[in-house]
Structure 1
């Protein structure tokens, strides 16, 4: 079973996963468009501003994801999900949901009213996970050039 370990986003293990994630995104981005990866600053994923989790299975790092505090939304404190990734060979085991729920739980602990994310419409599996997890479409809350879909989930219920 997968376990989750908080690590600094600039730790070599985190950086290796992000490098793989950015490479995968770049390869799968629609032809004629450019994916623009940005390695995050460590401070935005340091508690209580945020957290970065690494998913580990049998001693191997298999995925990652984080949340970071962003400007408050209409309902109050807001966190954003970033860089949710599982290595392709581990997908379909429910670990994306485990990782997402852990990030949501941490946001709740920090009194978040809601949690948002942006994604790309070509990431069908991710979109299905977010939909099953209660995320609903919203108007864009940022100008991320890599995003085509923006989602929100209320955490106050």
Structure 2
């Protein structure tokens, strides 16, 4: 498995993965269903966003973004999703560990992510990939401007997978 930069040609594949409006809301907070490929390509217009795909044998099986914040010297992992027929196989952890490794390699020790509180499956995945809840007071402050009370997680940037990127090469 390899973690590669996203290309616009992959947008239709990724946009097709959510099976319901509820899944779209949990994935990216949008209300549109189905998600249009142009929506996914539009996310790439922000210079601070780097999207990646997890590829297995030439097939795209995962998608996720790194949102760089130079002012805060931190990175947020976002819009993480895996192909429906590959879920439950640990690919989400592989994808998240690979993204974490990219963030650390770019020189960022503070790596965060926000998760919809109703997305229990994603929370298990991210915790299994080395993320832990931030201090409750910090989460409360960050949620003041948010549409829902997200669960905020911080990556373990000291984990071997984060330092070496080896997490993207094994399930």
**1:35–1:146: 8 Å Cα contact kept in structure 2?**
no
Q: 1:16-48 CA distances to partner (integer Å, 9 max, x unpaired)?
A: 30x235x44623479xxx84367553244x5xx
Q: Secondary structure at the match of 1:96?
A: helix
Alignment pair present for 1:118 and 2:117: no
Distance of 2:58 and 2:158 partners within structure 1: 35
Q: 1:106-130 CA distances to partner (integer Å, 9 max, x unpaired)?
A: 1111111211111112222210112
What residue number does 2:3 align with?
Answer: 4
User: CA 1:101 to 1:145, structure 2 compared with 1: closer, same or farther past 3 Å?
Assistant: same
Q: Secondary structure at the match of 2:108?
A: coil
TM-score w.r.t. the length of structure 2 is: 0.67
Alignment pair present for 1:133 and 2:135: no
Q: How do 1:73-88 residues align onto structure 2 when only pairs under 5 Å count?
A: 73=72, 77-88=73-84
- Tell which deviates more after alignment, 94-103 or 138-147: 138-147
What residue number does 1:52 align with?
Answer: 51
What residue number does 2:94 align with?
Answer: 98
| Superposition deviation, residue 98 in structure 1 | 1.4
Q: Secondary structure at the match of 2:16?
A: helix
User: Higher RCO, 1 or 2 (CA under 8 Å, sep at least 6)?
Assistant: 2
Distance of 1:88 and 1:103 partners within structure 2: 20
Q: Secondary structure at the match of 1:41?
A: helix
TM-score w.r.t. the length of structure 1 is: 0.72
RMSD of aligned C-alpha atoms?
Answer: 2.9
Give the structure with the higher percent helix.
2
**2:43–2:49: 8 Å Cα contact kept in structure 1?**
no
User: CA 1:134 to 1:62, structure 2 compared with 1: closer, same or farther past 3 Å?
Assistant: closer
Give the structure with the higher percent strand.
1
Aligned residues: 143
